[in-house]
Amino acid sequence: MRRSMAFVFAAAVLRAAPAQAEPLDLDVFKLGPPDARAVALLAGRAAPTAADYQAAADARQRFALMASELGLALSSFILTPPVTTGYSGFDFDLEFAYSPTHTTAVGGRSYWPTRGLTPRALLMPAIHVRKALPFSTELGARIIYLNQSFMFAAQGEAKVALVEGFYWIPDVAVRGAMTHLYGARGLDLTTSDLDFMVGKKLAVGGIMSFTPYLALRLTWLDAGSEAMDFAPAAGNPAPIGVVAAYPRLQRHDHLFTRYALGVRLLTYAVSLAAEVTYFGGKTFSGGAPSALGDQDLPGFEVKSSLSAAVKLGFEF
């Protein structure tokens, strides 16, 4: 029965992409040319004007906002307490996460370049598998499907319980994870997480346990795009300067701090969990559009958000 459920869920998550796109499939081309020379050439001007520099900076800002919100959403949930499943333990989870988005326009255009609708939230079902190892260590893998799209993310994780099941002392663990997005044409996006977790497993009636936990989450974002030919938008052959890429968001420059609060209920082999993750927002500085190079990012603000996730799991 459990194996059949797993196969059905996996088929829903990893289905083959059809010929027609889904509403939330991304097309980063729609963000606009990130190079002022491309903006000018597409408008028939020999040299960029101040308005062209502003338009290119707006496109780069839209890319940074979209990549930041998408990366934070895909890595927004942990759904495990600081304790491990034990020396020979194995855990299989079916999960569902909700992460709100923002629809503020930049330069009169949305920074969500979808093929259909502008999302107000991202819904993400996932499959999560964890395997315990000796010395209170645990490895895990997660497949995350972005609803109404043909995009998915793969996540690998490792957790080490520094303190676990020691009398009345809280359990403490450190978790590291890396998440990479697949299926988004022209977009390369990866997040790296380092989580510091604390919680305590409490027995209830001798047949179940209740484990509340807190986590301080540090997330680094790395995102970039392919070089794209913006000439077809004007129906012209590609002149020099129209082929351009969005500037890369370097991991060492884009750190986000988040906080998670969750609880796990375990009875026999069945576990339930719920979790919320809070991001307080962050502003990244940048120069004036006319002073920026073609590969420089302008300033942008990633707004605060409160995401949520739940799971149904089986621990053996």
Q: What is the pLDDT of residues 110-151, one digit of tens each?
A: 999 998 888 999 999 999 999 999 888 999 999 999 999 999
Reported as type and span, the H/E element at residue 143 is strand 137-145
Residue 315 has a pLDDT of: 87
Q: In terms of C-beta density within 10 A (0-12 exposed, 13-18 middle, 19 or more buried), how is residue 240 classed?
A: exposed
178 φ/ψ angles, rounded to the nearest 5 degrees: -135, 130
Q: What SS3 class is residue 51?
A: helix
Under the banding of pLDDT at 50, 70 and 90, the label for residue 268 is confident
Cα dist. 278→72, 173, 244, 285 in Å?
11, 20, 35, 22
Cα dist. 171→102, 167, 211, 301, 315 in Å?
36, 10, 10, 35, 19
What are the boundaries of each domain within the chain?
2-315
Q: Which residue has the tokens 């299926």?
A: 183
This prediction's pTM: 0.89
Q: What is the pLDDT of residues 176-224, one digit of tens each?
A: 999 999 999 889 999 999 999 999 989 887 788 899 999 999 999 999 9
Q: What is the pLDDT of residues 5-51, one digit of tens each?
A: 343 344 444 444 444 678 999 999 899 999 888 888 888 888 889 89
Residue 15 has a pLDDT of: 44
Average pLDDT, the chain: 87
What gap in Å lies between CA 117 and CA 233, rounded to an integer? 21
Long-range contacts of 99-105 (CB under 8 A, 24+ apart): 99/72, 99/73, 99/124, 99/305, 99/307, 100/305, 100/306, 100/307, 101/69, 101/73, 102/65, 102/69, 102/303, 102/305, 104/303
Residue 269 has a pLDDT of: 87
Q: In terms of C-beta density within 10 A (0-12 exposed, 13-18 middle, 19 or more buried), how is residue 74 classed?
A: buried
Pick from 95, 31, 99, 92: which is nearest to 62 by CA?
31
The residue ranking higher by pLDDT, 211 or 166, is 211
Residue 276 has a pLDDT of: 98
Angle at 263 (CA atoms; ends 282, 219), nearest 5 degrees = 25
